[in-house]
Amino acid sequence: MTDVTAPTREALCPALFIAGIASGQGKTTVTAALARLHRRKGRKVAIFKTGPDYLDPLILAQAADHPVEPLDLWMAGDAFCRQQLFDAARQCDLILIEGAMGLFDGTPSSADLAATFGIPVAAVINAKGMAQTTAALAFGLKYAPQPASRAFELAGIIGNHVGSARHRELIETSLPDDIALLATLARDEAFELPSRHLGLVPPSEQDGLSRRIDAAADALEGTALAALPPACRFFDQHIPAPEPTLAGKTVAIARDDAFSFIYAANLRLLRALGAELCFFSPLEDAHLPDADAYWLPGGYPELHGKALSANTALHEALRQRHRAGTPILAECGGMLFLHETLTDHAGTCHTMAGLLQGHGEMRTKRGCQGMQYAPLPEGDIRGHAHHHARSHATLEPLTHARRAHHPAPGEAIYRSERLTASYLHLFFPSNPAAVASLFGADGSR
């Protein structure tokens, strides 16, 4: 609980919220380019990503040379978001926040987040195939009827995929006087960020990512975005440290190209709970590190099915730890690895570690999506789901996740001895005590 008796400290820092009218407008490209542009000017840039996301932050972190954190009023909570922004404002020269989907999409939405913290919005609009209609969309963003809680300042728009100087002119002259055209990006393959199912291709699997970001940054040089935006005021939330109930325990975490969906905030929370962290690679390591608990996060096991299937020594090591009653958490891709088999997009069936009854299968159709929380015996832990897989012939679920804003059941949550598995990606700071218990805090079971 926040210590409301502590004196409130504040910090000022220029900040800008990069939103859009929908997904696929180029928000990540613009945010990365803007971060790189200001880094070139010697400024320290902090970037945040609205909502749950693992892939965009990897791109943005490379652009800013600074870790990227999620901000979400439901999953992380108001206090967490306020503290993150305050800490960034004290250390950085510029704060950038990339929105999710369209500006008003979701509950809470990007507009809600911008309004809550008083951050001006720059809206990215993909202008390919239209000209004056761009102005109508911008007008709608600025003047769409909204409750007072969603009141935000529209700093202007950024036109993406603009085909020519004449195209830019048509957009600019059609805009109302109170909506600025802050910048435009041309239709240029040099800026394009490659993608696949679940999102953008991670930096480790791209060639020339830094070159693409530099090219987009070059295009923003000389525009209104090259100057710092107005300073915003951020406040210290005084979040107390959790009790170190994992002191003396080691948590081993799978981390490699197959398992990379890890929030830095989750690692920080485990360390704040007193745990020592170590890492292993299910792709390369035949042996498990000695640990008191194991965490297999999400990722892309379906892209590495052959290598994961061949690592039978690690399969057996995991099974031994499971039989010994060691706490194990497996999320999404981590759960697929612990199934008996996993069938990839090409239809090839790979033998997996077999700790958890069931068979995973990739598909083009999305699975159960969105914000959900896990009502575990240890306590409710908030998180989200986003996957293109399904499981069948599984154990009877322990329970089902509950959606944030819909009565339908969420993801199935399985438990076998001390193994807890689900398609959910959990956000640990949403309930530190429950997370500590899940990983075997003293006195927990």
pLDDT tens digits for 6-36?
A: 557 999 999 999 999 999 899 999 999 999 9
User: What is the per-residue pLDDT for 164?
Assistant: 96
Sign of CA pseudo-dihedral 127, 128, 133, 136: negative
Of 92, 232, 332, 368, catalytic: 332
- List domains and CATH numbers for the chain: 10-235 (3.40.50.300), 250-438 (3.40.50.880)
Task: Give 312's Cβ-side CA count (13 Å radius).
Answer: 3
Q: Is 239 exposed, middle or buried (0-12, 13-18, 19+ CB in 10 A)?
A: middle
User: What is the per-residue pLDDT for 442?
Assistant: 73
In the chain, what is the straight-line distance between the N-terminal and C-terminal CA atoms, in Å? Answer: 24
**Phi-psi category of residue 381: left, alpha or beta, with phi > 0 → left and psi -120 to 50 → alpha:** beta
The one-character DSSP state at 3 is -
pTM of the model: 0.91
Give the pLDDT mean for 87-115. Answer: 96
Closest CA relative to residue 268, chosen from 246, 285, 300: 246
Distance between CA 96 and CA 99 in Å, rounded?
Answer: 10
Asked if 32 and 191 count as a contact pair (C-beta separation under 8 A), the reply is: no
Distance between CA 9 and CA 236 in Å, rounded?
Answer: 5
- Which residues are within 8 A (CB) of 193 and not within 5 positions of it... i.e. 6 or more apart? 28, 29, 32, 59, 200, 201, 209, 212
Q: Which residue type is seen at 412?
A: A
For the stretch 367-386, what's the b/e string if a residue is b when 16 or more beta carbons lie within 10 angstroms of its beta carbon? ebebbbbbbbebbebbbbbb
Give the number of other CB atoms < 10 A from CB of residue 3: 9
Does the pLDDT value for residue 198 go beyond 70? no
| Distances from the Cα of 161 to the Cα of 30, 165, 316, 399, 407, angstroms | 11, 12, 52, 46, 40
Task: Report the mean per-residue pLDDT for the chain.
Answer: 92
Q: Is 332 a catalytic residue?
A: yes
Distance between CA 158 and CA 191 in Å, rounded?
Answer: 15
Does the pLDDT value for residue 52 go beyond 90? no
Asked if 121 and 87 count as a contact pair (C-beta separation under 8 A), the reply is: no
Does the pLDDT value for residue 202 go beyond 80? no
User: What is the per-residue pLDDT for 5?
Assistant: 46
- Measured at the CA of 310, the angle between CA 308 and CA 314, to 5 degrees, comes to 70
Give the pLDDT mean for 105-129. Answer: 96
User: Within its chain, how far is the Cα of 83 from the centroid?
Assistant: 18
Q: Which residue type is seen at 187?
A: R
Asked if 385 and 366 count as a contact pair (C-beta separation under 8 A), the reply is: no
Does the pLDDT value for residue 154 go beyond 90? yes
Does the pLDDT value for residue 1 go beyond 70? no
DSSP letters for 306-370: HHHHH-HHHHHHHHHHHHTT--EEEETHHHHHHSSEEE-TTS-EEE---SSSSEEEE-SS--S-E
Share of residues in the chain with pLDDT > 70 (%): 93
Rounded to 10 deg, the angle between the 110-117 and 78-91 helix axes is 60
Rounded to 10 deg, the angle between the 55-64 and 209-220 helix axes is 70
